[in-house]
Amino acid sequence: MGEIHLTGHPASPGLAIGPVAVLTNAVASRAAKGDPAQEAAALKAAIEGAAMELAELIATVHGEAAEILEFQVAMLGDDALAEGAYEAVAAGTAADEAWRAALDAEIAGYRAADEEYFRARAADLVDIRDRVLAGLNGADAVAQISGDSVVMGDDISPSTFLAVDWTRGGAIALASGSPSSHVAMLARSRGAPMVVGLGPLPWNGQPPSLALVDGDTGTVIFDPKPETRRLFEHRMVAANAARIAADAGRLKPALTADGRRIAVLLNVAAPEELAGLDPAICDGIGLVRTEFLFEGSRGLPEEDAQYAVYRRILEWATGRPVTIRTLDAGGDKPIAGLTVDGERNPFLGLRGIRLSLARPEVFRLQLRALCRAAVHGTLKVMLPMIAVPAELDRANAMLDAEFAALRAEGIACARPPLGIMVEVPAAALCAEDFGAAFYSIGSNDLTQYTMAAARDIGAVADLNDAGHPAVLALIARTVEAGRKRGVEVSLCGDAAADTRLTKALVATGLTTLSVSPIAVARLKAAIAGVSA
């Protein structure tokens, strides 16, 4: 087989070389079905194999992740789970069909629960179901993927991603997938190069053994010729040297070539991302995505659990400002038991602040937790998907009420300033009309709503250009509104980390950019190269 070049979309920057590990699809059907005794034995082996894989996985994770997996192990180890499946197998059903039907019935029971906590558990049962199906279908399950591989597949789930140790230099190459998926965000924050939208993979049977992944340009080369590989390795060495040079400047404040100071903030999804990071690399945290607290299979988080997480982040920041975004669910971020299923166009539906105002009992809890955390540092709170000033006004009134209630209860609290995300063109055009304490431009959504093109729809992805003059004009208009009102304007979307755009963004008058921790060094190096 000759060398194969595929072009997709870059989803996480960086270069990687590694052996190909193909993600197999758990829904693929089995080749052959044996008699009931063979089928029962196959099912038993697959269940035991899945439990062993999970046990191995538990040894590599801590805390909450380990507890989730321990629950799955306990469920798998309980004969009651497979009872119905074994009965169906004895009656002549194939093991995989029987297992799927039994687990689907169990999952339906969870989805029908009154309590959101139990409904959210359905995700664990789905994980269990698919892991056993993968075993039955002879597929290699997740646990065997080593962190130096190039993981290939149609798409990859967050739990699969999290099971791999990406510090070992691996990468991801997907036939479909999206640069704005949660996995892509995770890949960017962990520094794993990722390319999506490669299209159908052009081989039958034997997959390639080696791949070169270029997460900067969005290309992947399979089974490279020795010369191609040598050139790629040269590029990796050069990129590495540049990274080390940039890392050296990571702890210094960012200054443009003509001496303008640019504040560089961090985007984080969970306090774990801050472990081992020196707060000195940044001027604060520009975006804490809180939806990660709400998803997975944990159910809606309690006030105390939220407070504990917010407090940890504020304590890490040691006085630097921390901007926490209230729940931004909906759109491409569904949350079981909270977001609306089956909206015809979820990006234009009940998402972000709209959902929070529609579900005040959930929103209030988050506001209370934020007020309590605010005493532990410099907290700012921002609202996602704001379109009209009335939304900010209602949120402000709710925040006032929760703050007053906490004070009346004698609980330590402070009222954080409330700002808005500018990601709906209406908010950018009328930014001056909002009584916001600050503006934070969400360039991902602002770009897709301005250009009417989604990044994850390959046919129109090229239109989704954050550097388009229309998007830059809306950013400049927001910066101007902030200047007139005397409030801070920052930008926290992926455009901030795209160093090809740094010059254009600084030219709009922006002086604060927020990026994932992995991008800080590159961004500071890019800022140093900008002059008026």
Partner 1 sequence: MHDANANRAAQTFATLTASAVLVNPVGLHARPSVKLTQLAKGFTAKIEIALAADGPWTDAKSPVKVMRVKAPQGATLHFRVAGPDGEAALAAMLGLVHDGFGEA
Residue 290 amino acid letter: T
Residue with the two structure tokens 């709009």: 508
What is the smallest separation between the CB atom of 289 and partner 1, expressed in angstroms?
A: 23
Please select the residue that binds partner 1; options are 304, 332, 400, 462, rule is CB under 8 A. 304
Instruction: Choose the catalytic residue: 182, 282, 371, 376.
Output: 182
Is there binding between residue 302 and partner 1 (CB under 8 A)?
A: yes
What is the smallest separation between the CB atom of 288 and partner 1, expressed in angstroms?
A: 22
Is there binding between residue 490 and partner 1 (CB under 8 A)?
A: no
What is the smallest separation between the CB atom of 75 and partner 1, expressed in angstroms?
A: 6
Residues 100-129 contacting partner 1, CB under 8 A: 106, 109-110, 113-115, 117-118, 121, 124
Q: How far is CA 85 from CA 97, 102, 138, 225, 522, in A?
A: 8, 5, 19, 49, 53
- Which of 66-74, 145-153, 238-246, 439-447 is the region at the interface with partner 1 (rule: CB under 8 A)? 66-74
Instruction: Choose the catalytic residue: 282, 371, 413, 492.
Output: 492
* Closest listed residue to residue 265, CA positions, set 309, 323, 318: 323
Nearer to partner 1, 100 or 522 (CB): 100
Residue with the two structure tokens 């799927």: 100
Cα 326 versus chain centre, distance: 16
- 492 among known catalytic residues: yes
- 376 among known catalytic residues: no
SS3 track for 17-28: EEEEEECCCCCC
Residues 193-232 contacting partner 1, CB under 8 A: none
Please provide residue 257's backbone torsions phi and psi, each rounded to the nearest 5 degrees: -60, -30
* Distance of alpha carbon 310 from alpha carbon 154, whole angstroms: 35
Residue 39 amino acid letter: E
Site string for partner 1, 249-288 (x = CB under 8 A): ----------------------------------------
* Distance of alpha carbon 262 from alpha carbon 249, whole angstroms: 14
Residues 386/329, Cβ–Cβ less than 8 Å: no
Nearer to partner 1, 116 or 216 (CB): 116
Is there binding between residue 332 and partner 1 (CB under 8 A)?
A: no
Residue 187 amino acid letter: A
- CA end-to-end distance (rounded Å), the chain: 51
Residues 68-97 contacting partner 1, CB under 8 A: 68, 70-71, 74-75, 77-81
Residues with catalytic function:
182, 492
Contact footprint for partner 1 (CB under 8 A): 67-68, 70-71, 74-75, 77-81, 106, 109-110, 113-115, 117-118, 121, 124, 297, 299, 302, 304
